[in-house]
Amino acid sequence: MQWATLSTMNITPSLLYRLSGIAVVVAFVFNLIGGTLHPVVGGWAHSVEALSEPFNPYAQYLLLIGTLLQFLGLPAVYVWVSRKTGLLGLIGFALYFFGGMLVILPHLTVEAFVSVPIAAKHETAHFLIPTDDSLFADPAFQNLQLFAGLVFMVSMLIIGIALLKSRAVPLWIGAVMTLGGLILLTPIPQAPVLSGLVIEIPRGLAIAAIGVLMIKGNSSGADTRSLQASSRVDIATR
pLDDT tens for the chain, 238 residues long, are 465 555 666 888 999 999 999 999 999 999 999 999 999 998 889 888 999 888 899 999 999 999 999 999 999 999 999 999 999 999 999 999 999 999 999 999 999 999 999 888 877 787 888 888 888 778 898 899 999 999 999 999 999 999 999 999 999 999 999 999 999 999 889 999 999 999 999 989 999 999 999 999 865 455 545 555 555 544 444 4
Residue-range definition of the domain harbouring residue 104: 14-236
In a domain, 8, yes or no: no
Confidence at residue 127, expressed as pLDDT on a 0 to 100 scale:
81
In a domain, 201, yes or no: yes
Confidence at residue 218, expressed as pLDDT on a 0 to 100 scale:
67
> Which amino acid is present at 228?
Q
In a domain, 219, yes or no: yes
In a domain, 2, yes or no: no
List own/partner pairs for 140-146 with CB under 8 A and 24 or more apart. 141/106, 141/110, 144/102, 144/103, 144/106, 145/103, 145/106, 145/107
In a domain, 72, yes or no: yes
User: How far apart (Å, rounded) are the C-alpha atoms in residues 173 and 208?
Assistant: 10
In a domain, 126, yes or no: yes
Residue of 201, 164, 161 whose CA lies nearest to 33: 201
In a domain, 3, yes or no: no
Structural domain count, the chain: 1
In a domain, 68, yes or no: yes
